[in-house]
Every structure is written in structure tokens, then in C-alpha cells.
């Protein structure tokens, strides 16, 4: 069958030395990355967390919980505590990339097995697909702001689409413009060079957030009643809301840390990721949530509208106050938000999807090809429809954090406690190794995953039916603090009773006796070229890698 798909196989890379080239289990994106691509220093990792923290979702999270009954101080405190948990989780997940120069996708093989890892990869692939589309739609709204600010005719363009289309003519045009901008970045900016492009995005987004807050507070004459007069709630309800916000922050922004090994493998030195881990997310997300809380408060006091996201605030302002100053402000804010949405989509959705899909079909899919696949599918699935039923979407969004919590807890426990950071790396790329387990599946990890996820499901099902009370719903809402410890304890117990093969074995990926350079066929080389590599030739290979 493979000969019929020969045309689709990955083209060879001739600029780096790889272990076995492109095979059923590996390609250049899945092997330890070459030295020349390890370009991330301290500021590179700060850029990763700054883009994640200084974001539209970070801007909105605090004010949403203030409206539910927390005071501003309590909401910001909960965000900070959640960031601390997310950072601690990231410290565990980052080590695989530092130690082995391997990413999250390959790490799941060591834990779940070469076929068993399809379970966690499927849930992450589906989540990345949905959120890639949602972020693309938000990016389209940013473009609509920019075009509306520059072109009055576009700002007042009549909607010619039917109501069941769930999108306006303006936003549909902007949606396709977004992809015209987005696709070249995915295709031509490699992962290890993204940090250079993220710095301008961070600056522009920060200026946009501060500018929006300053304008709204000045127009209102103060921050407004949400900060000064919080909604009254019982101590019991406040306690649960606080824990819920901590759990949501830890689970959702923990996703930035869950996959940090995908980025820590690009570290110049072993210690370079840690300053950003300990301070980057906690500072940026907490400050961003604070800005959002004050802006939402002042906006409600001024306009009588409770709008949580800066995009909807700016669209409302542009629609009701189309002055030269408003047009200039909304244009530059739109530019800042567009750059932020593009790079969040690349960093947290499209490249993650590409990496995981490469792990499923490494012979045919690279990280870039996978990123393009999710980009095309995101267009086809009409992502704006997810937002037409907000309650359903929020609950579906929440359930992905349940899956991610269980997955990462098991991976971290396996790496740190069960295997004590010792891997036989060559066996991650072949069927007859210690990570083949039973028919490619580590039943210990699968059973643990199911046990960790099950407690949240009654609450999830109830929420989909409109029932938002009861113990099961509360367990679902704080699933990070339920699923994570259950996964850790269960996995340790199962492995103590049924220890897997190969514990304590450590072997690096040294390369085969006859080095394989992608683009060359060793069978067609002479004995001298293929097997007896001269010292100076070997040195050249090592330097390019």
C-alpha cells in the first residue's frame, strides 16, 4: 500500500544529520533536534510566556469571575495562585526537552506506548483543531476593526448573508484575509525562529491593552462599580468560585506548560527556560487580568454594556463613536490584537497539532504539513458556529482541560517517578523496544487515564443538560485538583504492582553504524562513503547537526 503513497512521503532534509531519516516511527521533527536549531535563550522563553499571558483570554478571565461574585482582589489573587500551579506543572513538563531534546509527542510514547499514545494525541488534536478555528475567527474580527477604521464603507457594510450563516459579510471577508496573512508565516517561519517575530507582537498587544483601559477609564471618569462595589455572594459560594478560578487558570494556562518540552528542546543552555517559568506567566497573566477587570468595569459604567473581550468592546466603540480619534485607536488596537492572535494560534494550536499529527504519521507528515492541515480544516469547519451556542462551547472547552490534566499528570509521573528521567531513546522509534509494551499499548497508562477522567464526567453531562448544581458539577469545575492527584497516585500504585519492562535503562540516540544522511541512499553509496566515514567528514556532520 505504501508504494501508492510514495508521492506523499516527506522530502529529505539535506542540511542536518538525522538518526534513521524518515520512517514509520520517526522524521526530523520527532528526533532530537540539531544543535544549530537550539536558538532559544532567556528572552526567547519569556516571549513564549508573554504571548500566552498578554492575551485576549487573559484580559477577560478576571472580570468574568468578578461578575459572578468575587471581588476584584479575590479574582486577581485566584489568577495568581492558578498561575503558580501552572508554572509548577510546567517545571515538570519542561525537563524532557532539556534532558532529551525531545517534545511532548514523543514523550507520550514512552508513557502510553507507540500505539497507546493515540488516545492522548487524539484529544489534543481535536482540541487544537477547534481552538485554531476559534482564534482564526477572533483574528478576523481584529481585521474587521482595522478595515472598518480605515474604510468607512467597510465599517458600514451591509450584511448580505442569511441569519443561519452565523457570520456577517464583513467578518467573512476578514476571515479569508486572516488566512492570507497566516499561511505564509506557518510555511516559511520555522519554529526555532519564531521568537524574533513574537517580540513586536508583545509590545503592540501590551500598548493596545493599556490604551484601551486608559481610554475607557478616562471616558468614564473612573474604573466603575464592579471594582468598587462587587456583587455580594455567600462565603461558601465565594470559596468555591475562588477554587474554580484557580483550577481553570491552572488547567487552561497549564496547557502552555504541558507542551513546553516542544519548546525547551530549542534551549541554548539547560537553565535558560527557568526564569520565564517562574515569573513569566504569573506576572503577565495577573497584570493582564487586572487590566481587563478595570476595563470591563469602566466600560459597563460608561456604556451600560457588559462586554468581556477587548474585541467586542472596540467593535461597540467603533460602531457608536466613529470619530477620527476612535478610528485611529481601533486601528492600532486591531493591529496589536491581530499579531497576538496569530502567534498564539501558531504557538499553542497549529504547531502543536502539526507536531502531534507528525507523531501519528511521521512518514508523510512533518510539523509544517500538519500545521497546514489544521489550517485548512479550520476554515472548512466554520469555527464561528461554535460561538453561536456559547454555553455548549464553554462546556466542551472545559472538558478538554479534563483530558489534558489526566494526560500530563501521567506523563510527568512516568518520567520523574517511575522512570526517574531515564529513557532508552532508540526504542521510541521501533516496534521491538521496551516502549512497545503489549501490542504497542501501555495498559497501565490507559487505565489510569480513564480512572482520572471519570470523576468529571457526571458533572460534564449534567452541565450539557443545563444542570449546574450538585457535587458532581463542582467536581467537574475543579477537575484540575481532582484529576491530577488521582492520576498521579493511581499510576504509581499500578506501576508498583505491575512494573513495566526496562525501568532504569538509559541509552542516548547515537546514530546507526552506517550514518544515514537524509537525501542519500546508503545502499547506493560505496563502502567508503557509507560505512567508513572519515574523521573530517564525521566532524562536518556533527557540526551541521
pLDDT in tens, 186-230: 999 888 788 777 888 889 999 999 999 998 888 888 776 656 544
Could you tell me the pLDDT band of residue 79, with boundaries at 50, 70 and 90?
very high
Of 166-175, 189-198, 309-318, 495-504, the poorest mean pLDDT is in 189-198
All three cell numbers of 294, joined, read: 478595570
Residue 117 — very low, low, confident or very high, per pLDDT cuts 50/70/90? Answer: very high
Distance of CA 115 to the CA centre of its chain: 23
The pLDDT assigned to 528 comes to 37
Residue 537: its pLDDT value, please? 38
- 59: three-class secondary structure by DSSP: helix
Task: Judge whether residue 304 has pLDDT over 70.
Answer: yes
What's the pLDDT score for residue 301?
83
Tell me the three state secondary structure of residue 267: strand
Burial class (CB in 10 A: 0-12, 13-18, 19+), 263: buried
Greatest mean pLDDT among 75-84, 215-224, 226-235 lies in: 75-84
Report the chain's mean pLDDT, rounded to a whole number: 85
Q: Report the distance separating Cα 52 and Cα 347, nearest Å.
A: 9
Residues in contact with 507: Cβ distance below 8 Å, sequence separation at least 6, in sequence order? 423, 424, 425, 426, 427
Q: Which is more confidently placed, 512 or 325?
A: 325
| pLDDT given for residue 256 in this prediction | 63
The pLDDT of residue 268 is above 60: yes
CA distances from 178 to 136, 137, 348, 367 (A): 7, 9, 17, 21
pTM: 0.87
**pLDDT above 70: percentage of residues in the chain:** 87
Give me the domains of the chain, ranges plus CATH numbers.
13-511 (1.10.4160.10)
- How far is Cα 318 from Cα 314, in angstroms, rounded to an integer? 6
For residues 31-40, average pLDDT? 87
Amino acid at each position: 500500500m505504501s508504494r501508492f503513497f510514495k508521492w506523499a512521503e516527506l522530502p529529505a532534509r539535506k542540511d542536518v544529520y538525522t538518526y534513521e531519516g524518515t520512517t514509520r516511527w520517526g522524521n526530523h521533527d520527532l528526533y532530537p533536534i540539531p544543535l544549530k536549531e537550539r536558538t532559544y535563550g532567556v528572552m526567547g522563553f519569556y516571549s513564549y510566556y508573554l504571548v500566552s499571558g498578554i492575551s485576549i483570554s487573559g484580559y477577560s478571565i478576571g472580570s468574568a469571575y468578578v461578575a459572578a461574585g468575587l471581588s476584584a482582589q479575590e479574582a486577581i489573587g485566584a489568577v495568581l495562585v492558578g498561575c503558580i500551579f501552572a508554572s509548577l506543572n510546567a517545571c515538570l513538563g519542561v525537563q524532557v526537552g532539556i534532558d532529551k531534546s525531545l517534545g511532548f509527542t514523543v514523550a507520550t510514547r514512552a508513557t502510553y506506548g507507540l500505539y497507546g499514545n493515540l488516545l492522548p494525541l487524539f484529544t489534543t488534536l481535536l482540541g487544537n483543531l477547534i481552538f485554531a478555528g476559534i482564534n482564526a475567527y477572533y483574528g478576523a474580527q481584529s481585521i474587521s476593526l482595522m478595515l472598518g477604521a480605515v474604510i468607512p464603507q467597510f465599517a458600514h457594510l451591509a450584511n448580505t448573508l442569511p441569519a443561519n450563516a452565523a457570520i456577517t459579510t464583513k467578518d467573512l471577508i476578514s476571515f479569508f484575509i486572516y488566512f492570507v496573512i497566516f499561511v505564509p508565516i506557518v510555511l516559511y517561519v520555522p519554529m526555532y525562529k519564531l521568537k524574533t517575530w513574537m517580540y513586536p507582537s508583545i509590545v503592540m498587544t501590551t500598548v493596545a491593552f493599556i490604551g484601551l483601559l486608559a481610554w475607557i477609564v478616562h471616558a468614564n471618569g473612573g474604573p466603575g462599580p464592579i471594582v468598587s462595589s462587587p456583587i455580594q455572594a455567600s462565603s461558601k459560594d465565594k470559596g468555591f468560585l475562588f477554587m474554580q478560578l484557580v483550577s481553570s487558570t491552572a488547567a487552561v494556562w497549564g496547557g502552555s506548560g504541558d507542551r513546553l518540552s516542544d519548546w525547551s528542546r530549542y534551549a541554548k543552555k539547560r537553565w535558560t527556560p527557568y526564569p520565564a517559568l517562574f515569573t513569566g506567566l504569573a506576572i503577565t497573566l495577573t497584570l493582564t487580568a487586572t487590566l481587563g477587570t478595570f476595563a470591563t468595569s469602566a466600560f459597563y459604567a460608561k456604556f451600560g454594556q457588559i462586554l468581556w473581550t477587548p474585541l467586542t468592546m472596540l467593535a461597540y466603540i467603533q460602531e457608536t463613536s466613529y470619530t477620527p480619534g476612535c478610528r485611529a485607536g481601533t486601528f492600532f488596537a486591531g493591529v496589536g490584537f491581530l499579531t497576538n492572535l496569530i502567534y498564539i494560534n501558531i504557538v499553542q494550536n497549529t504547531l502543536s497539532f502539526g507536531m502531534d499529527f507528525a507523531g501519528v504519521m511521521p512518514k508523510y507528515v512533518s510539523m509544517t504539513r500538519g500545521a497546514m492541515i489544521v489550517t485548512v480544516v479550520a476554515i472548512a469547519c466554520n469555527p464561528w458556529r461554535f460561538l453561536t451556542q456559547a454555553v455548549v462551547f464553554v462546556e466542551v472547552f472545559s472538558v478538554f482541560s479534563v483530558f489534558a490534566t489526566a494526560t500530563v499528570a501521567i506523563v510527568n509521573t512516568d518520567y520523574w517517578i517511575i522512570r526517574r528521567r531515564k529513557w532508552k531513546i532508540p526504542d521510541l522509534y521501533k516496534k521491538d523496544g521496551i516502549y512497545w509494551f503489549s501490542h504497542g499499548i501501555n495498559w497501565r497508562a490507559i487505565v489510569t487515564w480513564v480512572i482520572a477522567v471519570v470523576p468529571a464526567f457526571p458533572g460534564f453531562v449534567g452541565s450539557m443538560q443545563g444542570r449546574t448544581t450538585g457535587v458532581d458539577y463542582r467536581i467537574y469545575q475543579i477537575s484540575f485538583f481532582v484529576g491530577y492527584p488521582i492520576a498521579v497516585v493511581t499510576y504509581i500504585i499500578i506501576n508498583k504492582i505491575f512494573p513495566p519492562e526496562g525501568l532504569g535503562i538509559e541509552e542516548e540516540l547515537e546514530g546507526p553504524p552506517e550514518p544515514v544522511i537524509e537525501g542519500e541512499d546508503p545502499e547506493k553509496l560505496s563502502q567508503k562513503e557509507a560505512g567508513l566515514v572519515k574523521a573530517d567528514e564525521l566532524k562536518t556532520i556533527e557540526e551541521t547537526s
